[in-house]
Amino acid sequence: MVVIKPEQQLLLNQPKKKSSNNNLSSLTIEDYNLDKEFKKEVTEYSVVVENDVKKKKINAQLDDSSAKVEGTGEVEVKEGNNKIEIKSNRRRWKY
């Protein structure tokens, strides 16, 4: 028989503390360069790719490895303007 004291149970169910550091430390697009040098303060970038490109891999690193980032990995692109957002906590980078 296993007995769990209430203090232990609370500790097991305690959610992870969200990171207050939502800065990216890097942003890259496979085989292409951003239109300007990456800086944490800049939240919008452009990249021009050939019309026949269908997918591109986006990489983003965070200052705080415990924070979460969304919008990276292989993304589909189509001819014309594509708006892709990289999100970390409540901050967004666009290109």
Name the residue with tokens 């028989």.
Answer: 1
Q: What is d(CA 72, CA 56) in angstroms, rounded to the nearest whole number?
A: 10
Quick check: pTM over 0.85?
no
Segment 34-74, tens digit of pLDDT: 999 998 888 888 888 888 889 999 998 888 877 788 889 99
C-alpha 67, offset from chain centre: 9
Segment 73-85, tens digit of pLDDT: 999 988 888 888 8
